[in-house]
Chain A
Amino acid sequence: MGKRVAIVGFGQTYQRSSRKDVNGVELINEAVQTALKDAGLTINDIDAVVIGNMDHFEGINYVDMWSVEGSGAVMKPIIKVTTGGTTGTTVAMCAYYHVASGLFDRVLAIGWEKNSESDTTGAIITAFHPVWERPNLGGAIAGLAVEASKYMHNYKITERDGARVAVRERLHALNNPYAHLHQEWMKGMKVEQIVDMLVGSEQNQVLAYPLRMSDMCPRTDGAAAAIFASEDVAEKLAPIPAWVHATANRHNYVYLGDLDWNVNETLRDSSRKVFKKAGIKEPLKQIDVCELYLPYSYAGLKWMEDIGFCGPGQGPKLVWDGITDMDGEMPVNPSGGVMSSNPIGATGLIRVGEAALQIMRKAGTRQVQKDVNFAFATGFGGCSWADVMLLGKNKPA
């Protein structure tokens, strides 16, 4: 049994489509300074650093080396982890492991990306197998569209169901000054009315049938940093530390064609693993808020089922009933989620950080108006591997 570990500080840049005013080092530094300030620490207090992004998105390798002046890792232990879409959650997991090991007391986790520096679709294609997969793959959009086709086929899901998720994410983003997309025009409109507009609008271009523009995440420049601390120091550093109760990740395929598209098996099993560890039997009742890596709308239906929040095909009812809205029983993505900001290497860490903020009651205008005992964060990579992390207000047993 390792040390108990908590998140005691979090910082992020404002997520924007392009940050030409900073290079990678400077962008990273913004997030690190904010996180240190949040935890009331200086860089001298940090024992080790874990950093990640998707190297090939900027076409520059070895961020652990070239970012040290921004990350604060000069002459400190630093490790790069880069796991695709899950990079941000994996840096969080890796920082957790560092502290849980007992070897480090305060570890800084950093995720960042400048998507504006390359063509995201092209970069994503090169993450797949050159011989068997690249010739016909159309980036993340194609990979997600095919998943949607199967889910829609299996349960007679409509375009309106997908749009309902998109509307939730974009309405929540309006409460979050850090979010990239602020669709002010939605303000004050009824949910049904916005859904009708999205599915009826020709401007809402079909990117990869059945997915339209509004179903997808944006491309974002941004960075995030979180500070993980051991049980020996956490309570001195934060009035309400966000304790890590459990974390897990899973992979299950070599080629996309190996996947059983009926179920997101990696997300299902990693979720089950952490729920079991934390004694969660009824996730929908026992988890108070979620920050889920939902890169496209239908993930907000199907993956809710796979996580275990509802039964197969029940995702739309859960979402239409408002359970996952800000004022619902279990709000999902008060931050606006990935569909409102997606600086890929930071995206997973933002999920973890936003979940921590909800527990620490530091989420400001996006703080849920209920007690938060458990907050659940997930990461998603490729199609489709998963990282999950369960945070709690109470110190784990």
Chain B
Amino acid sequence: MDKKEADKELLAIDSGDMFQPYRWSVGKYGSKFLLELKENKKLFGVKCPKCGRVYVPPRKVCGRCFVAMYEFVPVSDEGEIVVCAIIEFGFVDPETGKQRPVPYGYVFVKLDGADTALPHFLDSADPEKVKVGARVKAVFEENRKGSIMDIKHFTLI
């Protein structure tokens, strides 16, 4: 029996479509951030009292200083691309079970006033324009649901 024939006798059992829903807590700071985004299209970070870093999305502890953070500071809906890629290969999004539409610009945006970057979609897949250092602005969804996807995507300024 050659290899191909032998392979026909080797079974692999498909799982079929599976669905395992979760319910993730985002905490007080995460909730406040998502509600502000939903209701007022405003973004904010939280500032470390020790090192001064401004974290977006906000969280309670600065890991580097290991101290609690309490000070909310507004950040802009504009910022700079710190790293980027143009995603061209097709794949199934495990969160939706559907093909993620490609190509798309994938950017990490350091919003003005923040020290960390937010990953998001960019509405361009042009390698001449999707560049480290480019300035971008958030475009908000009309119907917002309290999710990071209430920012529809970023757009080049």
Chain A contacts to B: CB under 8 angstroms? 20-21, 59, 117, 119, 121-123, 125-126, 130-139, 141-142, 145-150, 153, 205-211, 252-258, 261
Encode B118-140 as 1/0 by CB contact (under 8 A) with A: 11110000010011110000000
Across the interface, do A146 and B106 meet the contact criterion of CB distance under 8 Å?
yes
| B157 within 8 Å of A (CB atoms) | no
Task: Report how far A153 CA is from B131 CA in the complex, Å.
Answer: 9
Encode B55-94 as 1/0 by CB contact (under 8 A) with A: 1110100010000000000000000001111111101111
Tell me the residues in window 43-65 of chain B with beta carbons closer than 8 Å to chain A beta carbons.
55-57, 59, 63
Task: Report how far A139 CA is from B148 CA in the complex, Å.
Answer: 18
Chain B contacts to A: CB under 8 angstroms? 6-7, 10, 12, 15, 18, 22, 24, 26, 30, 55-57, 59, 63, 82-89, 91-95, 100, 104, 106, 108, 116-121, 127, 130-133, 147-149
Across the interface, do A147 and B83 meet the contact criterion of CB distance under 8 Å?
yes
Task: Report how far A117 CA is from B88 CA in the complex, Å.
Answer: 23
Q: Which of B7, B57, B149 contacts A135 (CB 8 A)?
A: B149
Task: Report how far A258 CA is from B61 CA in the complex, Å.
Answer: 13
Q: For B108, what are the chain A residues with a Cβ–Cβ distance below 8 Å?
A: 146, 256-257, 261
Across the interface, do A138 and B92 meet the contact criterion of CB distance under 8 Å?
no
Q: Name the CB-closest residue of A to B108.
A: A257
Contact A130 B106, CB 8 Å, known A136-B120, A209-B127, A257-B118: no
- B135 CB to closest chain A CB (Å) equals 15
- B92 CB to closest chain A CB (Å) equals 6
Task: Report how far A207 CA is from B88 CA in the complex, Å.
Answer: 5
Secondary structure at the B interface, as helix, strand, loop or mixed, is loop
Q: Name the CB-closest residue of B to A150.
A: B83
- A69 CB to closest chain B CB (Å) equals 20
Task: Report how far A123 CA is from B132 CA in the complex, Å.
Answer: 28
- A317 CB to closest chain B CB (Å) equals 22
Across the interface, do B83 and A261 meet the contact criterion of CB distance under 8 Å?
yes
Query: Can you report 20 A-B residue pairs in the complex whose CB atoms are below 8 A from each other?
Result: A21-B6, A119-B94, A121-B92, A122-B91, A130-B24, A131-B148, A132-B57, A132-B148, A136-B119, A136-B121, A138-B106, A145-B106, A146-B84, A205-B88, A207-B88, A209-B86, A209-B130, A257-B117, A258-B117, A261-B82
Q: For A131, what are the chain B residues with a Cβ–Cβ distance below 8 Å?
A: 24, 26, 30, 147-148
